[in-house]
């Protein structure tokens, strides 16, 4: 008899939940394998370890080429392509900008115009050089990359591949809202994901059915601050270096958790009008945007409950 087996654990600085539908004979093996895969990727990609390849790239910025693993190189290449596709609204080099605002250590600081301009000079995916033999170079001294806006989605995709190779036909990987699901629940009903009300995260604004798709949400929820009467998010516009305002929540539905993760950040920066127009041009990709006035904007052909 099929049952749902769950495991919750903190990985990549976030709460992960793994659900597999199985008879139970190999549930522990499957869940252990899923957790192990995310741990492997965290060790490879984290900004917060001196031994990760991300840290090595950042230390070598402006100084030296770094040969990275093939999957890191491929992830860098896709991030550069998404940055180009979104005209810079998604940018893994925004780490240097984030340091200016002190988001994690108390009330945000507000950098002066000169400091901001100097930092913008070392921001932008156009400064990432990708060469043959999996070599990468951050061409500006002081550049700082981070995979925080795409890493959890990439991890969910990799776990999905791993579990499907094991023959798992029904499962969910939920990385703090970056979620991929396929098949059905043990009772045969579809998986569904709730999109939180950005004004009260305990309430669900709407439900989306999910099967073979990935969903990612970027919301300000508790991570916002007010300045001069304006509510700002901790998300930054990489082109201006300033915190974004005007949007409370963005949810993306696409075939890939990595893509959904990255595009949720990009559309947050773009805003409702430009963001929905952009998403409307992409195949099998949909979005829900809740703006600062609590108005919900839904792209065409998205099924909601």
Domain coordinates of the chain in residue numbers? 53-138
Query: Domain 53-138: what homologous superfamily?
Result: ApbE-like superfamily (1.10.3980.10)
Residue 252 β-bridge partners: 216, 287
Burial of 130 (0-12, 13-18, 19+ CB in 10 A): middle
pLDDT at residue 195 in the model: 86
Helices (H) and strands (E) in the chain, counts: 8, 15
Q: How far apart are CA 233 and CA 211, in angstroms?
A: 31
pLDDT at residue 205 in the model: 85
Provide DSSP, 142-158.
T-----TTTHHHHHHHH
pLDDT at residue 232 in the model: 74
The residue ranges of the chain whose pLDDT is under 50 are none
Q: Which of 49, 55, 78, 79 is nearest to 68 (CA)?
A: 55
pLDDT at residue 42 in the model: 97
pLDDT at residue 233 in the model: 79
Note the pTM of the prediction, 2 decimals: 0.94
Under 8 Å between Cβ of 226 and 234:
no
pLDDT at residue 305 in the model: 62
pLDDT at residue 178 in the model: 87
Q: How far apart are CA 161 and CA 158, in angstroms?
A: 5
For residue 264, what are its two tokens?
């949720």
């Amino acid at each position: 008899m099929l049952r749902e087996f769950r495991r919750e654990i903190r990985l990549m600085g976030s709460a992960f939940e793994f659900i597999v539908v199985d008879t139970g004979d190999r549930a522990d093996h499957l869940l252990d394998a899923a957790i192990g895969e995310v741990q492997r990727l965290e060790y490879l990609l984290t900004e917060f370890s001196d031994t990760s390849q991300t840290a090595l790239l950042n230390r070598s910025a402006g100084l030296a080429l770094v040969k990275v693993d093939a999957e890191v190189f491929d992830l860098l290449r896709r991030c550069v392509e998404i940055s180009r596709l979104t005209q810079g609204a998604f940018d893994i080099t925004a780490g240097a900008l984030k340091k200016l605002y002190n988001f994690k250590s108390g009330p945000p600081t507000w950098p002066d115009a000169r400091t901001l301009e100097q930092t913008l000079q070392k921001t932008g995916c156009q400064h990432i050089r990708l060469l043959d033999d999996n070599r990468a170079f951050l061409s500006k001294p002081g550049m700082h990359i981070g995979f925080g806006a795409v890493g959890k989605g990439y991890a969910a995709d990799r776990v999905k591949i791993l579990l499907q190779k094991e023959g798992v036909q029904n499962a969910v990987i939920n990385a703090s809202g970056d979620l991929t699901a396929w098949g059905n629940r043990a009772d045969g009903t579809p998986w569904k994901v709730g999109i939180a009300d950005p004004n009260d995260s305990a309430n669900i604004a709407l439900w989306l059915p999910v099967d073979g798709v990935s969903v990612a949400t970027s919301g300000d929820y508790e991570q916002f601050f007010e300045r001069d009467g304006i509510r700002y998010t901790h998300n930054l516009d990489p082109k201006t270096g300033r915190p974004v305002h005007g949007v409370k929540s963005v949810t993306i539905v696409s075939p890939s958790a990595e893509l959904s993760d990255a595009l949720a950040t990009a559309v947050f920066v773009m805003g409702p009008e430009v963001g929905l127009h952009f998403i409307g041009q992409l195949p099998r990709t949909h979005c829900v945007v809740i703006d600062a006035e609590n108005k919900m904007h839904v792209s065409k052909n998205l099924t909601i409950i």
